[in-house]
Amino acid sequence: QGQLSILQEKIDHLERLLAENNEIISNIRDSVINLSESVKDGQKNPEAINFSQGSVSELFPSASALFAVDSEDCLFASKSGSHGAGVQMLDVYDILPFDNPDGGVWKQGFDITYNENEWDNEPLQVFVVPHSHNDPGWLKTFDDYFRDQTQHILNNMVIKLQEDNRRKFIWSEISYFAKWWDGIDSQKKDAVKRLIKDGQFEIVTGGWVMSDEASSHYFAVIDQLIEGHQWLERNLGVKPKSGWAVDPFGHSPTMAYLLKRAGISTMLIQRVHYSIKKHFSTQKTLEFFWRQNWDLGSSTDILCHMMPFYSYDVPHTCGPDPKICCQFDFKRLPGGRISCPWRVPPEPIHAGNVQHRAWLILDQYRKKSKLFRTKVVLAPLGDDFRYVESSEWDQQYQNYQKLFDYMNSRPEWHVKAQFGTLSDYFEALRKESHLGEESSNSLFPVLSGDFFTYADRDHHYWSGYFTSRPFYKRLDRVLESYIRAAEILYSLALVQSSKSEKMSAFPSVNNYKLLTEARRNLGLFQHHDAITGTAKDWVVVDYGTRLFHSIMSLKKVIVDSAHVLVLKDKSSYNYDTSTPFLKM
């Protein structure tokens, strides 16, 4: 019965496509008639018509859609006629069976094969991107994580990147970075600025947190982006170029829109339903221009990379076989605290095994690259709270450098492997695909729609968090409205208070601090384990306490500001903390 209904849906879908194609054909027919009319006119009056090479596609934008109809490709045709979006997610959800067959070593995918000569004319470029995913609260509070792990990661980053200028590292959570920055000396600060300038260290996204994309309100998401970007502007003078969202539970086109408006031009996402990842892998549409559903042009387009496999950890990022990739997570070397669940441990790289080990991981890189449209491959190297100890930096960076050096010394392997930042990858991708060149027809499809609801395996749909811990979700909205009110009243009061000597007692500096703290507490709560309700109980209480304190602080800002604004006779202004002029 189930299969019959799937068949019925597919037939309905094809009927819709046929109807749309009929429309396209009739449009083309009309255009041809118009064209022949103008050609006749042109013979009588040669100035009337002047064709350039590109004019046929301008006259028939929908023709490309018509000829894209391949069995699976009917998808891309479906919406191209109307508003240029090649892949429309609503159609994808319609045609996918959402089955879950065993795909072999890549459980949720399929076997990937390649021909060894594929890279003879154009070598494979591999970018290994070291990262450490730092949740601002989850199993520990923000402050506890910072004390136990995050500060050590950042301290070691400064030391270890300076040891070898081929090493790279990316960071995204500014809430942690700002707390660390406030506690380091100027020598360290200068070193960080140098590492950024030299392209060894990159800030990605640059928000206060890596925000949730389902339960958060867009205003608060913008606010935490501003908080992070302003901090970076003031302290480092940098503007983030690429978005990095490896852990939010499903992805929204609103995030793509906001990132684009914030000056970010490329982005990466990870937690997408495994059936969609598999489908996009077969179509090679894991890299696409994400466009808003309502955009009739292309002004909202942002280049997006979707990671193909189950997780952002090392076993699931070098290629399709986690048993092999795990052997290249050198934090799991025998004797350490974590090991490989597939029971084959990593081996330290030395002259005796480097050929075999390099070939093994190159095979994974090649297979991964087969899911994409270019010869540039991205391999993130990291996990939650990684690179805490100095020894882990050595284990990863030294062993990988040996692998790269060996691979790159074998011209017949046709590969160039190196550490890179996220922007290094996207720049190579742009070059390879000739993006931004005038004549180029983009290699990448345009996509519109969203990636909810997420399932990482089986029927594990991540939808409980849309409504869980509703008290805190509500508190978030209350604080947000208080912030907006306080900001407006404070701004007006500030202008008034500067007008007379008597008003200089207005506590502008202190209130500004309270406003900043409130914005940062609201920003912290946009984190994908905070507003979602997915943290431990005591961590939730910590978030709640911050939200509550900020609401109380903002009441003071509102009272102080309203006092200035309601006085008819400004000269009678008298600021007294013990007896506030107004009460809320």
Q: Which of 441, 464, 487 is the last residue of a domain?
A: 464
* DSSP code string of 545-579: HHHHHHHHHHHHHHHHHHHHHH-SSGGG----TTS
299 burial via Cβ count (<10 Å: 0-12, 13-18, 19+):
exposed
- Residue pair 392/329 in contact (Cβ under 8 Å)? The answer is no
Q: Are residues 379 and 513 in the same domain?
A: no
What's 200's domain CATH number? 3.20.110.10
Compute the CA torsion angle 360, 365, 366, 372 (nearest 10 deg).
160
Residue 337 near residue 353 (C-beta atoms within 8 A) = no
Task: Give a yes or no: residue 293 inside a domain.
Answer: yes
Please tell me the predicted confidence (pLDDT) of residue 65.
42
- Give counts: helices (H), strands (E), the chain: 19, 11
70 part of a folded domain: no
Check the CA dihedral 541-545-551-552 and report its sign. positive
DSSP string, 146-183: IIIIIHHHHHHHHHHHHT-TT--EEE--HHHHHHHHTT
Distance CA 9, CA 436 (A): 39
Is residue 49 domain-resident?
no
Q: Is 529 in the active site?
A: no
CA 461 vs CA 455, 465, 466, 544: distances in Å: 4, 10, 11, 26
Catalytic hit among 223, 247, 383, 424: 247
CA distance 305 to 289: 9
Question: Does 373 lie in the same domain as 338?
Answer: yes
CATH number at residue 540: 1.20.1270.50
Domain count of the chain?
A: 2
Domain co-membership, 255 together with 268: yes
**In-domain check, residue 66:** no
Phi, psi of 36 (to 5 degrees): -65, -35
What does each of the 584 residues of the chain score in pLDDT, given as a tens digit? 888 888 887 887 887 787 777 777 777 777 777 777 666 666 655 444 343 344 434 444 444 444 443 444 444 433 333 344 599 999 999 999 999 999 999 999 999 999 999 999 999 999 999 999 999 999 999 999 999 999 999 999 999 999 999 999 999 999 999 999 999 999 999 999 999 999 999 999 999 999 999 999 999 999 999 999 999 999 999 999 999 999 999 999 999 999 999 999 999 999 999 999 999 999 999 999 999 999 999 999 999 999 999 999 999 999 999 999 999 999 999 999 999 999 999 999 999 999 999 999 999 999 999 999 999 999 999 999 999 999 999 999 999 999 999 999 999 999 999 999 999 999 999 999 988 876 556 899 999 999 999 999 999 999 999 999 999 999 999 999 999 999 999 999 999 999 888 899 999 999 999 999 999 999 999 999 999 999 999 999 999 999 999 999 999 999 999 999 999 998 899 999 899 999 99
Which of the listed residues 408, 443, 464 is the one where a domain comes to its end?
A: 464
- State how far the Cα of 48 lies from the Cα of 30, in Å rounded to an integer: 19
- Using alpha carbons, select from 567, 578, 560 the residue that is nearest to residue 494: 560
From the CB of residue 500, how many other CB atoms can be counted at a distance below 10 Å?
11
Kindly state whether residues 499 and 433 are assigned to the same domain: no
Q: At what angle do helices 218-235 and 174-181 cross, to 10 degrees?
A: 30
Q: What is the pLDDT of residue 438?
A: 63
Residue 8, pLDDT score: 82
Same structural domain, 451 and 477: no
Which residue spans within 329-403 are E strands per DSSP? Answer: 376-384
Tell me, yes or no, whether 407 and 300 share the same domain. Answer: yes
> Do 447 and 528 fall into the same domain?
no
Distances (CA, A) of 285 to 77, 305, 393, 574: 14, 9, 34, 65
- 458 with 499, same domain: the answer is no
Do residue 332 and residue 282 come from a single domain?
A: yes
Predicted pLDDT at 54: 42
Tell me the pTM: 0.86
Residue 320 lies in a domain: yes
Residues 258, 166 share a domain: yes
Judgement on whether residues 221 and 313 belong to the same structural domain of the protein = yes
- How many angstroms separate the CA atoms of 349 and 360, rounded? 12
Distance CA 369, CA 320 (A): 10
In a domain, 23, yes or no: no
Residue 118 domain-assigned (yes or no): yes
Amino acid at 124: L
| Domain membership of residue 190 as a residue range | 83-464
The whole-angstrom separation of Cα 502 and Cα 500 is 5
Residue whose token pair is 């490309």: 64
- Give yes or no: residues 421 and 491 share one domain: no
Instruction: In whole angstroms, give the CA distance from residue 494 to residue 490.
Output: 6
* pLDDT score recorded for residue 479: 98
Q: Last residue of some domain: 434, 464, 494?
A: 464
Q: Is residue 46 part of a domain?
A: no
Spatial CA neighbour of 397 closest among 203, 197, 191, 157 = 157
**DSSP code of 288?**
E
Cα separation, 447 vs 253, whole angstroms: 10
